Each structure stands twice: as structure tokens, then as C-alpha cells.
């Protein structure tokens, strides 16, 4: 991969060497400030026009996250999945913030 795919921001995940991504389209980026807010940039049309495709991708993402957590901390994949789903349901039931869409200049509305 070219150097343009390497990490550019502090903490950014380095994608160099992941040649299997060639030909793929990015549809989401997620950031978290230490003990702070989270930021999500979504380009849904990279998936397709049906929002259900984003839902399916999020389920796949959650399952991959459970695997990643099981390898990073001392919990089983099932325990990690259940905790992720608990957090998902808690946030869905009682959101901790209001999403702020970006304008055409990339500034929050």
C-alpha cells in the first residue's frame, strides 16, 4: 500500500500492509477522546442506498469487536459480546448525547 494509507493522526490505526482493503470503500470512521466525547464520520452511500445495510454492517462490527476485546482483555468472546450489547442497549434506551451533523464545510451544525 502507498504511504497515504499509513497512520496520520496520533492514535490513528495504521492500515499499511492491509492489501485486502484495496478496492474497498470506507464508510465509517470512529474516534474517542480520552474520558470524553466520541466522534463518528459516516459516508453511508459507500455501502448502498438502503439503511438496512448499515445495520447489518454494525452487527458485523459488534461481532468483530467482541473478538478483539476477547483477545485484548481477559474476557471470553461471549462475555465481551454481552457487555457490548449491554452498552448498546443502554445507549439506545438513554442516549448520553445528541448527534451533531456536519455542514458542507465539515463544521458541526
- Quick one: DSSP state of residue 108? B
Q: How far is it, in rounded angstroms, from Cα 93 to Cα 18?
A: 37
Q: Name the segment(s) of the chain with CATH classification 3.30.2370.10.
A: 48-94
- 13, 7 Cβ separation under 8 angstroms: yes
pLDDT tens for 58-100 read 999 999 999 999 999 999 999 999 999 999 999 999 998 888 8
- 109, 100 Cβ separation under 8 angstroms: yes
What pTM value is reported for the model?
A: 0.79
**48-94 CATH:** 3.30.2370.10
- 15, 6 Cβ separation under 8 angstroms: yes
pLDDT tens for 8-17 read 788 888 998 9
Amino acid at each position: 500500500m502507498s504511504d497515504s494509507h499509513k497512520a496520520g493522526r496520533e492514535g490513528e490505526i495504521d492500515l499499511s500492509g492491509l492489501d485486502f482493503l484495496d478496492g474497498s470503500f470506507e464508510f465509517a470512521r470512529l474516534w474517542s477522546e480520552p474520558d470524553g466525547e466520541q466522534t463518528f464520520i459516516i459516508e453511508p452511500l459507500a455501502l448502498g442506498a438502503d439503511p438496512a445495510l448499515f445495520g447489518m454492517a454494525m452487527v458485523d462490527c459488534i461481532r468483530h469487536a467482541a473478538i478483539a476485546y476477547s483477545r485484548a482483555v481477559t474476557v471470553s468472546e461471549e462475555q465481551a459480546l454481552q457487555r457490548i450489547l449491554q452498552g448498546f442497549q443502554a445507549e439506545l434506551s438513554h442516549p448520553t448525547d445528541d448527534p451533531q451533523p456536519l455542514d458542507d464545510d465539515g463544521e458541526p451544525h
